[in-house]
Structures are given as C-alpha cells and as structure tokens.
Amino acid sequence: MVMRRKYPKICVRDFGPFQEADIELKPLTLIIGRNSVGKSILAYLIWSLAITMPDPKRLGREAEKKGAENLARKILDEIRKGKNPKHSLRKFIKIYIEALPEALAVDFGETLQRVFMAKPGELVRTGADRATITVESPNASVEFTIKNHHTTATSSRHYLEYLDELETTILRSNILRVSFAGEEIFESQVASLHDVASILLLILVDYLYEAYSPFFTSEKLAALLADSRAGISRTLLKPYLSPKEISEISYPDGYFVRLYYRLAEKLAEGVINLDPLKPLLKELGCEIEHAYEGGAYTVYVKTWTGKRLPLPRAPSGIRESLTVALALASPAAPHLVIIEEPEAHLHPRAQLALARLVVKAVNELRKTVVITTHSDYFVYRLSNMIALSQISQKAKELGFTETEALAPHVVAAYLARPEDRKAILTPLQVTSEGIPEEEFAEVAEELASERARILA
C-alpha cells in the first residue's frame, strides 16, 4: 500500500459568500465554477495567507511579555563563555513560536485589507457576525477569527517537535551554527543582542516554512496572477510609475507589475528555460526576447508578422498569458502560483498548451499551482493528462512526455456553485480517469437540446 502525503488545508466559515468551505491544497488545486460564485475570493484568500508574515516588532513586543529579553541576554552570555546555548535557545524560540499566532492574526487582517481593498469585517458573510479561517498543516494549525473589523487568533497548535530537531554547535571565536534535521540554517558570529535577534529571525522563517508551507512566507515565493492581466500589462508595465499612478493601483495589480519585472530579469539572466514555453508561444504566434530599458529588464515579443513589440503593445492573448507562463517555468520562486482564469483571451489550442505547462510546473519544478477556471477545454486537457498516468509508457506515441503524466492523488478539484443566497464548495473526486466533467457536460446537453428544438 502506497502512503499518500498529507497536504495543508484551509477551512473557511462565513467568509465572502461561503458559509463553509474546506480546501486541501494539493500540488494542483482547481476551483471550477460559473461566474460570480466566489472562486476569486478563495484565490485571493489563499494568496493573503501565503504572503502574510509576522511583523518583527509586533512579535517582539508579545515575546517580551514572557521574558524573551532575559533569555536573549543569557544566550549571548553563554556563547561568550564558549558554552552551547542549546537549552536557552530552545526556550527562547518556544516563546516566539507561542507568540506567533496573535502576531500573525494582526498582520493577516492588514493583508486582507490590502488585497481585498476592504476592511476585514466587510468580508464576513452577510447574516453572520464573524468569520473564521483555519490553516491546518500536518505539523501545526492556527485559527483566525474576523469580527468587527478585528482579526484575532482564537486557537492554535504549535509545531514544538521542531525544537527537538534544532541543533546548535559552538565553533571558534563565538561562532554559532544552527541546523534543523541536519540542514544548516546559518553559521555566524554572535557578539551582540542584535546578532541574537538576527539568529531568531532566521530560525523563525525556517520554522514557518517547516510548520505551514506554503503559507506565511512572502510575496516573492507566492504569486497571484489575478484577472485582467492583459489590461494591467497594457497600462502598468513601465519601470517607473508616478506617485498618483501608484496610489491608484490595487495591491494585487501592483504585485503583478513587480512579479513581471522579477521574471523578466530571471529571463535575461538565463534562469528560465524557454523550451517548455515553446508549444504555447507557437500557438500564440510569437517569440520572446528580453531587453534592458529604463533601468529594468523587460520583454519584447516578435510576432508571426515579423513585428517586434514591447509586451504592453502585444496582442491580448500574449499579454494575458506570458507572465503566467514565465511564473510557471521559473525553476525557483515563485513556489506557489495562483492563477485566475488561465484561459482568458486564449484560443482553445493555446489553453491546451498552457495546461501542459501547468503540469510540467507541478511534476518537474515541484510547484504548487492553484487555478480558478470555467474552461472545459482546460479541464479536459488536465483530465487527459491524469488518465495518461495509467499508461505513461505510451506517452510519447500519444504526443506527450512521461513527465506530463499527472498522478490523480496530487490533484484536488472543487466545484463552486450558488445555493440559497450562499456559495457552496463541493469537492470533486479525482480518479485515474480524470476530473468529473458533469458541470460542463450539462451545458453541452442544454446546447444540444436547444439545437434539436431549433432544427425540429
């Protein structure tokens, strides 16, 4: 019997239009449904949780109430005397781990306000007096409650086993080495309380990754590719924006601009392999190249007509999908890629090529990809690649590579639909044959019936 790994989960209660919604975040997670049923709200919520990081000053104030400063001085004193501060450091880190939930809650509330451009209380479902969002991982959990525009941590489970695998070694000249499970976190000289604080931050970043990944990381590691990418690319992709322009940009749109320039720089450095993009670029009828302009790298598109255009002037399908493709093909960050409606502005064959790129990102680059969609073409292609996993040895003769076979156990799919003035999120059973297609089949049957009545 093959043991399947456990994946992080988000449990939502009375948030947006959802009375309740539970999402297991597998390497590929699909949220399918018609317009205006809350798919985007869930995508933005997942991204908000991913980019929320505790403010060090706020966290420090919480920890100081429990004696963190005295322990920091003790750690420094032990290192100066050449003693291993193993026990003191573990107590020190434990104080901060226990203070994390409340600090995260405040920062999560602030992140929600930036991302949704609304006070947290406005995101509570109509008719409810509070909302709860719970992040559960195999190692830890935290529940946030939103009430009266305030966000608090109402329960948590800490990953204290982390401390058992935290190893410390004193080397020459007060140099401290810290590792977790045999992997080095850092090695540096400790000569002041400032150095102790720097050590703490590095350990806490490692703890958050081990306890909650892909949540509570940073916007460099988690990408949101929101809708209207073609419009954003046409109007905002310029190295320098005026203060007025910046003030009027939503946080997700401003993030998209920053992501584009980071990816353009990676492209220029040769970090991104363009080979996986070639089928999509062929369908889009273009080639891409980088250029350095205005103090930043940018992307130019050479269309099938021979015209060379900056991305803001490229056709809409290219503007819509190019940054998505670069994020999926980047071998490093972003590790979490959230895409709203990848099918937007794309011909069906281009959608199929983009779906293949998604599978490569999951299988070869080990990314976590979250997609909201209402494209039957996109879902059918993913279903076919899941079915391919049962006969991967025949992949080549079917026009695929073996790494494009998508194992069903790494895919989660959900159907969002309206019911009685609330949204319902139903998990779909992903089998070796793929993703259930009843929702799209129902529309196809309606069209066939309509055509029969017209021609009768």
pLDDT in tens, 171-204: 877 889 999 988 899 888 898 999 998 889 999 9
Q: What is the number of other CB atoms lying within 10 angstroms of the CB of residue 221? A: 16
pLDDT in tens, 119-128: 999 999 999 9
The whole-number pLDDT of residue 431 equals: 92
The whole-number pLDDT of residue 53 equals: 93
Instruction: Indicate the pLDDT class of residue 303, thresholds 50, 70 and 90.
Output: very high
pLDDT at 3 over 50: no
For residue 355, count CB atoms less than 10 angstroms from its CB and return exposed for 0-12, middle for 13-18, buried for 19 or more: buried
Instruction: Indicate the pLDDT class of residue 241, thresholds 50, 70 and 90.
Output: low
Convert 357-401 into a string of H (helix), E (strand) and C (coil): HHHHHHHCCCCEEEEEECCHHHHHHHHHHHHHHHHHHHCHHHCCC
The whole-number pLDDT of residue 274 equals: 92
| Strand stretches in 150-194, DSSP E | 150-157, 166-170, 175-180, 183-189
The whole-number pLDDT of residue 245 equals: 65
The identity of residue 269, as a single letter, is E
pLDDT in tens, 97-114: 999 999 999 999 999 999
Minimum mean pLDDT range among 21-25, 269-273, 344-348, 443-447: 443-447
149: left (phi over 0), alpha (psi -120 to 50) or beta: left
Which position has the token pair 């005295």?
70
Mean pLDDT of the chain: 90
**Phi, psi of 323, rounded to the nearest 5 degrees:** -65, -35
Instruction: Indicate the pLDDT class of residue 249, thresholds 50, 70 and 90.
Output: confident
pLDDT in tens, 371-392: 999 998 999 999 999 999 888 7
Minimum mean pLDDT range among 302-316, 322-336, 390-404: 390-404
pLDDT at 296 over 90: no
The identity of residue 220, as a single letter, is K
The whole-number pLDDT of residue 114 equals: 95
pLDDT in tens, 134-144: 999 999 999 99
The whole-number pLDDT of residue 408 equals: 95
The whole-number pLDDT of residue 2 equals: 44
Minimum mean pLDDT range among 93-107, 154-168, 240-254: 240-254
The whole-number pLDDT of residue 393 equals: 78
Under a CB-based contact definition with an 8 Å cutoff, are residues 345 and 354 in contact?
no
pLDDT in tens, 335-368: 999 999 999 999 999 999 999 999 999 999 999 9
pTM for the complete prediction? Answer: 0.93
Token pair, residue 38, equals 């809350």
Q: Determine the average pLDDT of the residues in 6-32.
A: 96
pLDDT at 320 over 70: yes
